[in-house]
A and B are shown apart, each in its own frame.
Chain A
């Protein structure tokens, strides 16, 4: 199942992007930063 997870995710993303009208696809960019807390076996 795991080997299919990434292709399924990419397929869902592509379908979501392509199925929306071009006029409704408003682009954006973001930039951020913060603190990181390691969990378990970091």
Chain B
């Protein structure tokens, strides 16, 4: 799964709001060639603990849309359903400079009849002055 997003820090206490997009593709183990693809977009609120420290735990949660696309070998059986989605995550942010940090997190992303747990790593770049 890949993710990207854009947000703003709300003050200096550790809160933020962001918009996130996700795209994942999983091969089915029971039928070779079948795939499920999940694009999603979420708006989320987050809170980062220990502001000012090098390692900052955080939690975040939000809601948006999630599309479940089933792509079987037999194309005529393909389905696609877009529904309300929710997400939540907890992770650690490792500050490596005044404008950059890395993160590792465990996340839940789901909607009706769809639930996945992505384990994500990534980089965050800040812009502008605090």
Contact = CB atoms under 8 A, between A and B. Distances in A.
Interface residues of B, number: 45
Contact of A35 (B17, B45, B119, B127): B119
Interface residues on A, range: 20 to 34
A28 B124 contact: yes
Contacts of A41: 113-115
Contacts of B118: 34-37
A9 B26 CA distance: 29
Contacts of A12: 45
Interface of chain B, helix or strand or loop or mixed?
A: strand
Interface in A4-41: 5-6, 9-10, 12-13, 16-17, 20-21, 24-41
Contacts of B11: 20-21, 24
Contact of B116 (A24, A26, A42): A42
Contacts of B124: 28-30
Interface in B75-130: 84, 103, 110, 113-130
Nearest to B62: A9
